[in-house]
């Protein structure tokens, strides 16, 4: 009788494990269709659910970078509301976060970096959801529109100097390890009339920063180790390119070009090129924006100075500063470009009139969301 009970127990246990495994497979499939933010709560239901969430993210979905929009009021107390578009789930989220200690207007000139700069203070954040802010002394040179980027453990601040400064091309670098500023070789003389983030585009690799003039495509490379510039490189494919921007997508330097008509008055197409070679002399066209999406970006969209470009992973996001109601994006997949657009659920006429809009881009994972909710008291709401 005891042996029979033991056999029955073994059989029941086997059936239970089989059912659990089958149940787990179903859960994994279901979780691939659940917004990432909802998977945070799901992962706390039980150990089996946590495993199913982890497996679904690992096997069924690659990371797709979020587009983050920060809307800062233009009047005191300059409060900011943050939003995010999750392309995996195709939803807009509102992020409720603790108040930020403001020292000046929010800015961003690099995909993940958000910063504020005053004559005495420099505050910046580069983690995916901007949970941590670094507050340090301002660089020695006062700047109004610099290019700012994080390369490794260094923050580079270049150009954008005020008219009364001796060197408008000055470059300074903050070391996150030593917490000190250092001066570097100034921007190349070619940028003397365009040394501001309005006219320059930047791309950051693991150890270098690339700066390109939007109107000409002339580019230089900055090495934080030597504190020196290298180049120039001409990033201009054949064709009537009226403006361009650069960015790194999966370790490949990408050139986004606005192609104009014969008079240079209207954009007729937007093309993407991959740049290779020691001096980026090899260009391979990898995609072209469909005509119907180009139409959505017309108007004053005649140069990259009126566009916001965010490049990360397999994605390129393109929007207009003057009319950000529509965001066009391109996803690289299996050697092809898939274009689409999403209605900006955040922007309306009131928002444009009373708020400053700042875009960043970041790879947001389940761990980032868990830290934001548990440790940083963030709240997320699907719009």
Q: Both tokens of residue 63?
A: 């990371």
- The DSSP result for 145-172, as a single string, is S-EEEEETTEEEEES-B-TTSS-TT-EE
pTM assigned to the model: 0.86
Q: Both tokens of residue 165?
A: 């400064």
- The DSSP result for 215-240, as a single string, is TT-EEEEEETTTTEEEEEEE---SS-
pLDDT in tens, 288-313: 999 999 887 765 555 666 788 999 98
Q: What residue has token string 């954009």?
A: 267
pLDDT of 200 reads 94
pLDDT of 21 reads 46
Fold of 62-382: Neuraminidase (2.120.10)
Would you tell me how many other CB atoms lie within 10 Å of the CB of residue 336?
Answer: 9
- Taken in order 340, 83, 160, 221, the sign of the CA dihedral is negative
Residues 6 or more apart in contact with residue 265 via CB below 8 angstroms: 302
Q: Are strands 121-125 and 114-117 parallel, antiparallel or unpaired?
A: antiparallel
Rounded to 5 degrees, what angle do the CA atoms 330, 130, 132 make?
Answer: 150
Peptide bond into 232 cis (omega under 30): yes
What backbone torsions phi and psi does residue 266 show, to the nearest 5 degrees? Answer: -145, 140
Peptide bond into 77 cis (omega under 30): yes
pLDDT of 218 reads 95
Closest by CA to 308, choosing from 256, 373, 273, is 256
- In DSSP terms, which residues pair with 338 in a beta bridge? 331
- Dihedral, CA atoms, 78, 126, 177, 63, nearest 10 degrees? 160
Closest by CA to 223, choosing from 206, 199, 201, is 206
Q: Terminal CA-to-CA distance of the chain, rounded, Å?
A: 61
Residues 6 or more apart in contact with residue 236 via CB below 8 angstroms: 216, 217, 244
Would you tell me how many other CB atoms lie within 10 Å of the CB of residue 298?
Answer: 13
- How far apart (Å, rounded) are the C-alpha atoms in residues 169 and 143? 10
* Alpha-carbon distance values, 223 to 206, 209, 231, 308 (Å): 11, 7, 11, 25
Would you tell me how many other CB atoms lie within 10 Å of the CB of residue 344?
Answer: 20
pLDDT in tens, 336-382: 889 999 988 887 655 555 678 899 999 998 889 988 888 777 888 88
- How far apart (Å, rounded) are the C-alpha atoms in residues 201 and 246? 6
Say how many residues make up the chain. 383
Q: In the chain, where are the structural domains located?
A: 2-58, 62-382
* Alpha-carbon distance values, 13 to 8, 9, 10, 249 (Å): 8, 6, 5, 49
- How far apart (Å, rounded) are the C-alpha atoms in residues 65 and 247? 14
- CB of 219 within 8 A of CB of 200? no
Residues of the chain where predicted confidence (pLDDT) is lower than 50: 1-3, 10-22
């Amino acid at each position: 009788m005891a042996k029979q009970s033991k056999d029955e127990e073994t059989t029941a246990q086997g059936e239970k494990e089989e059912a659990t495994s089958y149940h787990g497979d179903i859960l994994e499939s279901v979780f691939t269709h659940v917004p990432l933010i909802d998977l945070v709560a799901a992962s706390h239901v039980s150990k089996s659910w946590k495993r199913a969430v982890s497996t679904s993210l690992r096997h069924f979905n690659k990371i797709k970078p979020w587009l983050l929009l920060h809307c800062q009021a233009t009047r005191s107390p300059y409060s900011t509301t943050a939003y995010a578009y999750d392309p995996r789930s195709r939803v807009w989220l509102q992020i409720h976060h603790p108040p930020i200690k403001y020292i000046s207007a929010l800015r961003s000139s690099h995909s993940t970096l958000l910063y504020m700069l005053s004559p005495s203070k420099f505050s910046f954040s580069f983690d995916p959801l901007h949970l941590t802010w670094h507050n340090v002394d301002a660089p020695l040179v006062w700047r109004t529109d610099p290019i700012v980027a994080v390369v490794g453990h260094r923050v580079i601040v270049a150009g954008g100097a005020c008219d009364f400064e001796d060197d408008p091309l000055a470059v300074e670098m903050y070391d996150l390890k030593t917490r000190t500023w250092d001066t570097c070789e100034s921007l190349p003389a070619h940028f003397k009339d365009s040394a501001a983030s309005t006219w320059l585009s930047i791309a950051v690799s693991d150890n270098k920063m690339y700066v390109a003039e939007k109107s000409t495509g002339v580019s230089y490379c900055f090495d934080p180790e030597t504190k020196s510039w290298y180049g120039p490189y001409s990033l201009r494919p054949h064709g009537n390119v009226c403006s361009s921007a650069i960015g790194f997508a999966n370790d490949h330097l990408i050139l986004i070009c606005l192609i104009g008509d014969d008079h240079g008055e209207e954009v007729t197409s937007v093309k993407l090129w991959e740049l290779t070679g020691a001096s980026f002399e090899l260009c391979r066209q990898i995609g072209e924006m469909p005509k119907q999406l180009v139409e959505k970006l017309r108007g004053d969209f005649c140069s990259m100075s009126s566009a916001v470009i965010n490049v990360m992973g397999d994605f390129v996001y393109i929007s207009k500063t003057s009319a950000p109601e529509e965001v066009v994006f391109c996803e690289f997949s299996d050697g092809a470009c898939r274009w689409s657009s999403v209605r900006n659920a955040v922007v309306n006429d009131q928002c444009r009139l009373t708020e400053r809009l700042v875009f960043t881009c970041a790879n947001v994972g389940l761990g980032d969301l868990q830290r934001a909710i548990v440790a940083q008291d963030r709240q997320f709401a699907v719009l």
